[in-house]
Amino acid sequence: MKKKKIGLIFLEVFAILFFILYLSPLILLVINSAKSGSQIITNPLALPEDWGMLWKNITAVLTSPTVNYKSSFLSSTIITVGSLFTITFFGAMAGWALTRNKSKTSTVIYFMFVAAMVIPFQIVMFPLVSWFKTLSDAVTVPIFGFSLLRTYQGMIFAYLGFGMPMTVFMFSGFVKGIPYEIEEAARIDGCNQFQIFFHIILPMLKPIVVTVLILNGIWIWNDFLLPLLVLGKGNAIQTIPLAVSNFAGAYVKQWDMILTSTLLAIIPVLILFVLGQKHIIQGMTDGAVK
């Protein structure tokens, strides 16, 4: 018993140290956001001399003409919300349809989604931009006012393509655990396919929906490379990561502005994660087991 107790104490101490190590980047971010640029370079590990500098840096970021942070925040919100809605909506329908309609075609489509999960983004990023430019320059596309480069719809369309594989995989695993008899009973009562999905299946997918929203939301909100390729720098539509990069010049880097703007950017993600953390574990475990 004594050895067991010592082992538990050792594990608790190890867990606490690991937790502190895991939080150290966030702690350093908060500490250095309350310093000037020279103080950060001189001693990044020291505590701030004046915590009031944090509010001054926040005000400077929000009012800076270099990045137009408020506009960038709005652009990131529009792209993230639009992408999450399309990915979750179409991913849920695809996952349900591929799971319930077993055939050779559905099996091939499902494994195509699974295979797409292992394709590195760096392999397809330049063909993606070239394809977007070709479609944007096509004769039929501008008639509908649908341009893919440097637009919100282009970003949402790109995230839909890259986010669907994992989303379909997770929804398919979760749908397998829903008894098929529920759908049969609804069909006997006169429900069609759309009514079954929207009134019966979709409410039962809440845990995995929250999981998908958070995992994809963190990725889309923090992504830098895809917005850089599709939107470009200097465009009217700029996400927060692109805006933050404007503080880093070729010869001068405003570390106080970079760290403060980064701190502001992660606050919405932290709030989203805290609100939905219990659903993440439930959705991941249910999707894996079922």
- Model confidence pLDDT, tens digit, residues 97-129: 999 888 889 899 999 999 998 888 888 888 888
103 and 218 co-located in one domain = yes
d(CA 167, CA 213): 9
Half-sphere exposure of residue 62: CA atoms within 13 angstroms, side-chain side: 8
Q: Are residues 137 and 118 in the same domain?
A: yes
Q: Are residues 131 and 249 in the same domain?
A: yes
- Regarding whether 80 and 184 lie in a shared domain, the answer is yes
> What is the spatial distance between Cα 54 and Cα 61, in angstroms, rounded to a whole number?
11
6 assigned to some structural domain:
yes
User: Do 179 and 41 have their domain in common?
Assistant: no
Helix (H, G, I), strand (E, B) or coil at 233: coil
pLDDT of residue 282: 59
8 and 142 assigned to the same domain: no
Q: Which of 54, 75, 92 is the last residue of a domain?
A: 54
Q: Is 192 helix (H, G, I), strand (E, B) or coil?
A: coil
Residue 166 within any structural domain of the chain: yes
The rounded distance, in Å, linking the Cα atoms of 209 and 94 is: 13
Q: Of how many residues is the chain composed?
A: 290
194 shares a domain with 277: yes
Q: Is the same domain home to 177 and 274?
A: yes
Last residue of a domain, one of 17, 35, 54: 54
Q: Are residues 4 and 70 in the same domain?
A: no
In a domain, 59, yes or no: no
Chosen domain end from 54, 72, 93:
54
- Residue 143 within a domain: yes
CATH code where residue 169 lies? 1.10.3720.10
Quick: pLDDT tens for 69-94: 888 999 999 999 999 999 999 999 99
Radius of gyration of the chain (CA): 23
Domain count, the chain: 2
Q: Which residues of 52-81 are buried (b: 16+ CB within 10 A; e: fewer)?
A: ebbeebbebbeebeebbbeebbebbeebbe
Does 49 score more than 60 pLDDT?
yes
The percentage of the chain sitting over the pLDDT mark of 90, rounded to a whole number, equals 23
Tell me the pTM: 0.85
129 within domain boundaries: yes
DSSP letter (8 states) at residue 49: S
- Whether residue 11 lies inside any domain: the answer is yes
Q: What tens digit of pLDDT does each residue of 241-268 get? A: 998 888 877 667 788 888 888 888 888 8
Mean pLDDT of 154-164: 92
260 in a structural domain: yes
Contacts 24+ apart (CB under 8 A), 149-154: 149/230, 149/232, 150/230, 150/231, 150/232, 150/235, 150/237, 151/237, 152/75, 152/78, 152/79, 152/82, 152/237, 154/230
* Residue at 126 is within a domain: yes
What mean pLDDT is predicted for residues 195-224? 89
* Domain co-membership, 87 together with 123: yes
Same domain assignment for residues 133 and 277: yes
Does one domain contain both 50 and 68? Answer: no
Domain boundaries, position 188: 64-289
pLDDT at position 171 is 93
pLDDT band at 290 (very low <50, low <70, confident <90, very high): very low
pLDDT digits (tens, 9 = 90+) for 122-151: 888 888 888 888 877 664 445 445 678 888
